[in-house]
């Protein structure tokens, strides 16, 4: 497997926020996955490296989903919310990320 070096500064910017929703919670319990909102230009290897760097866990795989922004209308003007990219990070067995610990 190729070892790709990513700058630590870039890795700190890749993950924007964890996704806390019913679907994300269901996926986390069922598949041992964690869902993150990531930068639109982030790649799977970058996301994997960023999660391993920030949370000190081992990542098994990463799946990404591009979500189109909703069409919105204000009066006679049409607009669109920003497109987003989500990463479904599958952790190796026995690994866990707990977001409520630091609160």
Domain positions in the chain are 8-91
pLDDT of residue 103: 46
- 79, 72 contact by CB (below 8 A): yes
Separation of alpha carbons 93 and 86, rounded Å: 22
pTM (2 decimals)? 0.82
Of 68, 18, 66, the residue nearest 42 (C-alpha): 66
CATH of domain 8-91: 3.30.70.330
Exposure class string for 2-31: b at 16+ Cβ within 10 A, else e: eeeeeeeeebeebbbeebeeeebeebbeee
Give pLDDT tens digits for 53-90.
Answer: 888 889 999 999 999 999 999 999 999 999 999 999 99
User: Regarding predicted confidence, which is higher, 27 or 99?
Assistant: 27
User: Regarding predicted confidence, which is higher, 95 or 61?
Assistant: 61
Q: What is the average pLDDT across 83-100?
A: 86
pLDDT of residue 2: 46
Q: Which two tokens stand for residue 1?
A: 């497997």
């Amino acid at each position: 497997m190729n070892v790709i070096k990513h700058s630590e500064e870039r890795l700190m910017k890749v993950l924007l926020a964890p996704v806390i929703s019913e679907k994300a919670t269901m996926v986390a319990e069922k598949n041992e996955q964690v869902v993150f909102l990531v930068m639109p230009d982030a790649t799977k290897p970058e996301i994997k490296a960023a999660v391993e760097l920030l949370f000190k866990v081992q990542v098994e795989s990463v799946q990404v989903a591009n979500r189109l922004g909703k069409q919105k209308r204000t009066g006679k003007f049409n607009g669109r919310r920003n497109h987003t990219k989500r990463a479904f990070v599958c952790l190796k067995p026995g690994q866990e990320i707990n977001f409520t610990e630091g609160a």
